[in-house]
Chain A
Amino acid sequence: EDQVTQSPEALRLQEGESSSLNCSYTVSGLRGLFWYRQDPGKGPEFLFTLYSAGEEKEKERLKATLTKKESFLHITAPKPEDSATYLCAVYSEGTSYGKLTFGQGTILTVHP
């Protein structure tokens, strides 16, 4: 069964203090790794999809990278509006249709 572990559970940063979130996964043949951002009481907002090891995607202050065992979400010079829960999910060849397996998320708080 697919497993996804995110660390740390919570991260507090000062505005401008860069850091990284980790997503470790154990799957039988990765077909896609997805990063989402979720604000309290709202649905997850799509950020990135990564399909193969070595792939990188960037969007504003965020950069996602993928290896064969884990993915990182790098946040450069974060702002308070980047505060949210960041979720990682995987889809594997051992998974039936439409099912993403999610990690528990990292709660990011950025202080001004």
Chain B
Amino acid sequence: KAGVTQTPRYLIKTRGQQVTLSCSPISGHRSVSWYQQTPGQGLQFLFEYFSETQRNKGNFPGRFSGRQFSNSRSEMNVSTLELGDSALYLCASSLGGGSDTQYFGPGTRLTVL
């Protein structure tokens, strides 16, 4: 069974631009969670989607948004990029969320100049 895939793997943007990251979950998984990973803060939860609905959101500004499509694929968008948004963005999929095991993709490395 194919794992979680994320595109693109690397991105370089400048301050003020916006970016869209994509995540394809494991087949049959309906929950997709997004995390930001930085050396200082570790892994921090951004939001979770299930059946095209955002069920949970972490403590991030409104510049961070996402959506999920009917095939469970998910995208996250960051508008008006800041230098501090440079990070590894990870998505994880699970069967239904909750206490189900989350399986992570390889991540998208975003660098903001």
* A: interface residue count bin: 20 to 34
Give me the interface of A with B, judged by CB distance under 8 Å.
31-32, 34, 36, 41-46, 49, 51, 87, 89, 91, 96-105
Contacts of B6 in A (CB 8 A): 43
* B: interface residue count bin: 20 to 34
Give me the interface of B with A, judged by CB distance under 8 Å.
4, 6, 31-33, 35, 42-43, 45, 47-50, 55-56, 58, 88, 90, 92, 94, 97-99, 101-107, 109
11 contacts between A and B (CB under 8 A): A34-B102, A97-B97, A98-B31, A98-B32, A98-B48, A98-B102, A99-B33, A99-B56, A100-B92, A103-B42, A104-B42
Take A87-B43, A96-B56 as given contacts and tell me if A41 and B109 are in contact as well, using a CB distance cutoff of 8 Å.
yes
Instruction: Report yes or no: B45 in contact with A31, Cβ–Cβ below 8 A.
Output: no
Given contacts A91-B98, A102-B42, 13 further A-B contacts (CB under 8 A): A31-B98, A32-B99, A43-B4, A44-B90, A46-B103, A89-B43, A91-B99, A97-B98, A98-B31, A98-B45, A98-B98, A100-B35, A105-B42
